Amino acid sequence: MSTIFDCRCSEKVGGLFPEIDVPAKGAERLIDPKHLRKQPLRIPDVSEPQVTRHYTKLSKLNFGVDDGFYPLGSCTMKYNPKLNEAMASLPGFAGLHPRSDEGRSQGALQLMFELTGFLRGIAGMADVSLQPVAGAHGELAGMFLFKKYFEMRGEDNRKRILLPDTAHGTNPASAAYAGFSVTEVASDETGMIDLEALDQVLDDTVAGIMLTVPNTLGIFETNILQVTEKVHAAGGLCYFDGANLNSYLGKTRPGDMGADVFHYNLHKTMSTPHGGGGPGAGPIAVSESLAAYLPVPRVRFEDGRYALDWDCPNSIGSVHSFYGNFLVAVRAFAYILQLGDEGLREVSKNAVLNANYLQERLKKTFSLPYDGLCKHEFVVSGKGLADGISTLDIAKRLIDYGVHPPTIYFPLTVKEAIMIEPTETESKETLDRFAEILETVAREAKEDPQLLHDAPTQAPVRRLDQTYAAKNPVLSYPFEEQPQ
Amino acid sequence: MRYIPNTSADQREMLASIGVSSIEELFADIPESVRNRFQPLNLPARSEMEVASVVSEMADRNKPTDAICFLGGGIYDHYVPSVVGNLLSRSEFVTAYTPYQPEISQGTLTAMFEFQTYVCELTGMDIANASMYDGATAMAEAVLMAERTRKRGAVAVPRSLFSHVRRALDTYCWATDIEIHEIGYLPDGTVDLELLPEQLSAVVIQTPNAFGVIESLEGVKDRIGDALLIVSCHPLSLALLQPPGAYGADIVVAEGQSLGLAMGYGGPLLGLFAARQEHLRQMPGRIAGRTVDVDGKTGYAMAAQTREQHIRRHRATSNICTNSALCALASTIYLSSAGSAGLKQLAALNLEKAHYLADGITAIEGYELAFTGDFFNEFIVNVPGNAAVIHDALVQAGFAVEEPQALQSLGLDNALRFAVTERRTKDELDRLIEVLGGSR
Amino acid sequence: MAYPTDYRYTKDHEWIQLQGNRARIGITDHAQAELGDIVFVELPAVGTAVQKDDNVGTVESVKAVGDVLSPAAGTVVAVNEGLESAPETINSAPHVDGWILDLEIGNLADLDDTMDAAAYESFAGGA
């Protein structure tokens, strides 16, 4: 794969900016020459046609939701409405500097205020901050809120966060990053939190629990109310990871299940695009007891005006440069406006229907560790399909059939896990086709396993040697290797 | 429902194959007491046309192009070439996920590799990651990384750090029990490194700093013992200035918005993060590395993943998962289309125009630069009379200038900050000078 | 690969070759197979004092990290520096050349919960 650095340089490209219109004095006269760059920048000068061809070619090496089925469990790869893109590029939003006078930002502030209201309502919780810019960022902010809560109460011995063994990696990472230690709580044979195990670890050193609801097996914790009651009774708080909100959007609310902090992934549930790894947005909703600690600034509406409120003496401070990923919030706002209450409800109905339909069909071919009602996603296992065939082999072979593989090797509690989340924006036809592909690959695994071991053969590159990459890290273009 | 392909016939078939008679039955696992607790938001479903109308009206009310922008403080009004938005909007880039399946993500991964290379080039550092959320959290993560490496429990942070970066740093350091020692500044606006406490995990310097003043990094690394030197810089200025890597910085962070991103009312932004090779294992964030496939063809994959949360979990070097990938791509395309010549020209335009404005303003009686240190494209002026009144006059005249209260946290009581980019024409600069001259 | 019968084994998939009070420690063939190609080994500093079950190092493959836990309280007296440039030795020769550290053990009774080769083999088989 050639990089822009491999393109032939042109002599002098220019043409983007006009000639200088003020009398130029020269850099050496304006600043001390000792500050001036000595080494030339090895940034290539390439003509625009070359730049365009290069990145267009790169894009064609990618696979996005717009290309085909993308059943990545835990990621909610639903269709990204193009209306949202148009709204986010409106000059009144895109061209607005965050330090603009409030008088010139009323439209932006109103959008943030109204979106905050929608997210409060959807969560059924007291207040919301749009400031965190990713799910993990929301988790971190949530952990900061826990810390503040106990600090204000003088309970500084509460240093432990409980997590189920099915937790997403960001959960323990966020807890640890905020200075907590983590204690795993085992799941029982139904894949849900073992209430007895929970009882054993609950004491007054526990700050709280981080739960994903439904859990990462796609199973709704039917004892969720008992779990949160127990944690509250022990003086702890409950954090709900909202990555799986697509399964109960418009149906139930984390606030009613005992959540004290809940984060949204707008780039999952609210259809904003994933962008190859962001930008996303991870707004947090909180219960009344934590509202005063939310990050500053808050957005207020008083006397007919929207304003930023920095005067929150008990706030944890800020976790972002400004107000969060505003242009991502614009997309989510447009999405919610378009869907309305009825549309929000239809999301979870169809997401859950699609997942259960697919689970029912695929369990005939793959081992299904937890065979019962799932929500918007489910986990099967590649174990036992055929000798010497791993889930990795299955995933790579799916690429040859033009679908993006599901999430693999997560959650950690299922060996050779394959986590499938179809989302509501896929048709029955697509699901049937996907099932057929998986059934074909399962047959190949038994009859012609080399096809899986060699896969992918239909992708821009074959299987990449990650061991070589790890042992001989080349993390930027090696200019020294190239002939001048 | 526009985004839901299934028909009611499809739904009936699917329900039959599952063996239930209604979708409602599929929610039986939610405890009955909470199963139907959603309270409508009183939002009707709306057509695309209606939504566009409602949201456009909100956007129109902001009228940012009605004011000539001299706002700065980390976010700048730069010209973004058309090719950036055009290529960025390709759905294969926009609608792809994180590149966990590298064979079908070579577009994203190759661009990440290019971006990392650009960041290393600009900053003069060995390694860079594929982006953090923004410059403020990049700084916070740099401090946490230094603390993991040195474990001294304290860092030195200059008063001349952008206040929005300081605010986030205060929060992260409070949460992780890292003590912040604030260091002051000299009359010329540069950081005062006398009387640095000992036992620091890091010393932080921003250049150009919040006053717009360029710091001298020469010899700093030698004066701070084995504390890590963390430098926050302005990426565009690096086309003109010596990079922090040349002075032995350990970690370099920056806000990358000025490299081809919309201002977007403050988000999404782009955190740049670079470090010395020896710090690779402690570095947060995703990194793309070059490798080969089974046929020996060059390709790219995520490298050193064992640092990250999906493998290391509670011992990861960061909890970061989603970062700012599409923004990093925007910067990559921007830098590729400007090229080194374009960047040099850009830096010169910013430098010269800012100095032209500063000269014009300080020629007016009562106006003087708050600091004598060298500056790039941003400077602070002490004003005669009442800064708030002058600010209002400028706003009335159609200029966007930051309110003077914003500078109070930096210790400036009666001053205004001006950032000048290549977009500001001589006419606009002359007009601002005229308005100030007239408002005495 | 056969498990040396004169070694002891822990439930964390480590082997111990004991000579008096000095124990040579590494990870088992089962462990290296689970990890995959090993690309990096983090070794403790010689002289480090450790408690039983303390983390004394890590073994990293591309997709996983394995902790090396000290089977007993003691002091690290030697480490296998060759692993710095050739971590893959653990994959090819986990029980001999792929040794990780030597530990001077304070109390041999700490090793009472270890298994013999036969017991480990069936333990690992079921894992």
pTM for the full predicted model: 0.95
C31: its two tokens = 């462990």
Average pLDDT rounded to a whole number, residues C94-121: 93
Name which of B228, B209, B245, B223 is nearest B142 in CA terms: B228
Give CA torsion, residues A252, A257, A262, A268, to 10 deg. -30
| Cα→Cα distances C28→C3, C77, C92, C105, C118, Å | 8, 21, 11, 20, 13
In Å, how far from its chain's centre is CA A99? 28
In Å, how far from its chain's centre is CA B402? 19
Residue B229: its pLDDT value, please? 98
At residue B351 the predicted structure's pLDDT band, cuts being 50, 70 and 90, is: very high
Q: Is the pLDDT of residue B385 over 80?
A: yes
The whole-chain average pLDDT of chain A stands at: 95
Q: Is the pLDDT of residue A11 over 80?
A: no
Interhelix angle B106-123/A48-59, nearest 10 degrees? 130
- Chains touching C (at least 3 CB pairs under 8 A) are A, B
Highest mean pLDDT out of A234-248, A465-479, B307-321: A234-248
Residue A484: its pLDDT value, please? 47
C63 and B311: CB-CB below 8 Å? yes
Q: Is the pLDDT of residue A359 over 90?
A: yes
Share of chain B above pLDDT 90, in %: 91
Q: How far is B122 from chain C (nearest CA, A)?
A: 30
CATH number listed for the domain at residues A342-468: 3.90.1150.10
C39 and A470: CB-CB below 8 Å? yes
B341 and A14: CB-CB below 8 Å? yes
CA B289, CA C114: separation in Å to the nearest integer?
A: 41
CB B189 within 8 A of CB A193: no
Strand partners, B117: none
Furthest CA-CA distance within chain C: 37
B312 and C65: CB-CB below 8 Å? yes
Q: Phi first, then psi: give them for residue B393, nearest 5 degrees.
A: -65, -40
Share of chain A above pLDDT 70, in %: 99
Name which of B310, B249, B261 is nearest B127 in CA terms: B249
CA B399, CA B348: separation in Å to the nearest integer?
A: 23
The whole-chain average pLDDT of chain B stands at: 95
CA A338, CA A138: separation in Å to the nearest integer?
A: 25
A470 and C63: CB-CB below 8 Å? no
Residue A10: its pLDDT value, please? 79
Please indicate, yes or no, if residue C121 is contained in any of the structural domains: no
Residue A86: its pLDDT value, please? 98
The letter for the amino acid at B167 is R
How does pLDDT run across B10-20, given as a tens digit for each residue? 999 999 999 99
Q: List the Cα angle B266/B143/B251 in 5-degree steps.
A: 90
Q: Phi first, then psi: give them for residue A398, nearest 5 degrees.
A: -60, -35
At residue B317 the predicted structure's pLDDT band, cuts being 50, 70 and 90, is: confident
Decide if C63 touches A, using CB distance below 8 A. Answer: yes
Residues of C in contact with B315 (CB under 8 A): 65
Average pLDDT rounded to a whole number, residues A410-431: 95
Instruction: List the domain range (segments joined by +) for residue C93.
Output: 8-111
Please indicate, yes or no, if residue C54 is contained in any of the structural domains: yes
Handedness of CA A86, A87, A90, A96 (dihedral sign): negative
For tokens 């010549």, the residue is B341
B241 and A90: CB-CB below 8 Å? no
B266 and A98: CB-CB below 8 Å? yes
> Cβ–Cβ contacts within 10 Å for residue B50, how many?
13
C64 and B311: CB-CB below 8 Å? yes
At residue B440 the predicted structure's pLDDT band, cuts being 50, 70 and 90, is: low
Q: Phi first, then psi: give them for residue C57, nearest 5 degrees.
A: 170, 170
Q: How far is C121 from chain B (nearest CA, A)?
A: 27
Average pLDDT rounded to a whole number, residues A302-325: 97
Q: How far is C61 from chain A (nearest CA, A)?
A: 8
Decide if B344 touches C, using CB distance below 8 A. Answer: no
Average pLDDT rounded to a whole number, residues B11-38: 96
Average pLDDT rounded to a whole number, residues A229-249: 97
Please indicate, yes or no, if residue C126 is contained in any of the structural domains: no
The number of distinct structural domains making up chain C is 1
Helix (H) or strand (E) holding B149: helix B135-150
Strand order in the sheet with C74-79: C8-9, C14-19, C22-27, C101-105, C74-79, C49-50
B312: its two tokens = 């290391």
How does pLDDT run across C32-47, given as a tens digit for each residue? 998 989 999 999 999 9
Nearest-by-CA chain B residue for C42: B281
Q: Is the pLDDT of residue A69 over 90?
A: yes
Instruction: Give the one of B71, B170, B429 whose C-beta lies nearest to A97's C-beta.
Output: B71
Decide if B220 touches A, using CB distance below 8 A. Answer: no
Decide if A385 touches B, using CB distance below 8 A. Answer: no
> Cβ–Cβ contacts within 10 Å for residue B115, how many?
29
CA A333, CA A81: separation in Å to the nearest integer?
A: 12
Q: Which CATH architecture has domain A83-338?
A: 3-Layer(aba) Sandwich (3.40)
Residues of C in contact with A470 (CB under 8 A): 37, 39-40, 60, 62
Q: Is the pLDDT of residue A318 over 70?
A: yes
CA A94, CA B398: separation in Å to the nearest integer?
A: 19
Decide if A409 touches C, using CB distance below 8 A. Answer: yes
Average pLDDT rounded to a whole number, residues A110-136: 98
- In chain B, what are the domains? 64-79+339-438 (3.90.1150.10), 82-333 (3.40.640.10)
A467 and C40: CB-CB below 8 Å? no
C103: its two tokens = 């530990």
DSSP-derived 3-state class of residue C119: helix
Residues of B in contact with C57 (CB under 8 A): none
Read off the CATH number of the domain in which C91 is found.
2.40.50.100
Share of chain A above pLDDT 90, in %: 92
A373: its two tokens = 């009602």
Residue B331: its pLDDT value, please? 98
Please indicate, yes or no, if residue C46 is contained in any of the structural domains: yes
Residue A466: its pLDDT value, please? 85
Decide if A402 touches B, using CB distance below 8 A. Answer: no
Stretch 127-156 of chain A: residues touching chain B, C-beta under 8 Å: 133-137, 139-140, 143-144, 147
Average pLDDT rounded to a whole number, residues A423-449: 97
Name which of B175, B142, B128, B180 is nearest B159 in CA terms: B180
- Chains touching B (at least 3 CB pairs under 8 A) are A, C
A-C contacts at Cβ under 8 angstroms? 17
DSSP for B348-374? HHHHHHHHHHHHHHHTSTT-EES--S-
B375 and A31: CB-CB below 8 Å? yes
Residue C64: its pLDDT value, please? 85
How does pLDDT run across A364-406, given as a tens digit for each residue? 999 999 999 999 999 999 999 999 999 999 999 999 999 999 9
Name which of B15, B42, B11, B9 is nearest A346 in CA terms: B11
Residue B409: its pLDDT value, please? 87
Nearest-by-CA chain B residue for C59: B306
CA B429, CA A263: separation in Å to the nearest integer?
A: 45
DSSP-derived 3-state class of residue B146: helix
Best C38, C39, C88, C92 member to test A by mutation, with max A CBs in 10 Å, is C39
SS (H, E, C) chain A: CCCHHHCCCCCCCCCCCCCCCCCCCCHHHHCCHHHECCCCCCCCCCCHHHHHHHHHHHHCCECCCCCCCCCECCCCCCCCCHHHHHHHCCHHHHCCCCCCCHHHCHHHHHHHHHHHHHHHHHHCCCEEECCCCCHHHHHHHHHHHHHHHHHHCCCCCCCEEEEECCCCCHHHHHHHHCCCEEEEECECCCCCECHHHHHHHCCCCEEEEEEECCCCCCCCCCCHHHHHHHHHHCCCEEEEEHHHHHHCCCCCCHHHHCCCEEECCCCCCCCCCCCCCCCCCCCEEECHHHHHHCCCCEEEEECCEEEEECCCCCCCCCCCCCCCCHHHHHHHHHHHHHHHHHHHHHHHHHHHHHHHHHHHHHCCCCECCCCCCCCCCEEEECCCCCCCCCHHHHHHHHHHCCCCCCEECCCCCCCCEEEECCCCCCCHHHHHHHHHHHHHHHHHHHHCCHHHHHCCCCCCCCCECHHHHHHCCCCCCCHHHCCC
Intervals of CATH 3.90.1150.10 along chain A: 342-468
Residue A482: its pLDDT value, please? 64
A433: its two tokens = 């086709």
At residue B27 the predicted structure's pLDDT band, cuts being 50, 70 and 90, is: very high
Average pLDDT rounded to a whole number, residues A200-212: 96
Average pLDDT rounded to a whole number, residues A144-152: 98
Please indicate, yes or no, if residue C60 is contained in any of the structural domains: yes
For tokens 């500063």, the residue is B358
With b for 16 or more beta-carbon neighbours within 10 A and e for fewer, the A195-225 pattern comes to: eebbeebbeebbbbbbbbbbbbbbbbbbbbe
Please indicate, yes or no, if residue C3 is contained in any of the structural domains: no
| Cα→Cα distances B45→A83, A338, B11, Å | 15, 6, 21
SS (H, E, C) B162-224: CHHHHHHHHHHHHHCCCEEEEECECCCCCECCCCCCCCCCEEEEEECCCCCECCCCCCHHHHC
Please indicate, yes or no, if residue C124 is contained in any of the structural domains: no
Please indicate, yes or no, if residue C25 is contained in any of the structural domains: yes
Q: Is the pLDDT of residue A199 over 60?
A: yes
Average pLDDT rounded to a whole number, residues A263-274: 98
CA A239, CA A164: separation in Å to the nearest integer?
A: 12
In Å, how far from its chain's centre is CA A120? 20
B336 and A46: CB-CB below 8 Å? yes
Residues of C in contact with B312 (CB under 8 A): 65
* DSSP count for chain C of H helices, then E strands: 4, 9
At residue A468 the predicted structure's pLDDT band, cuts being 50, 70 and 90, is: confident
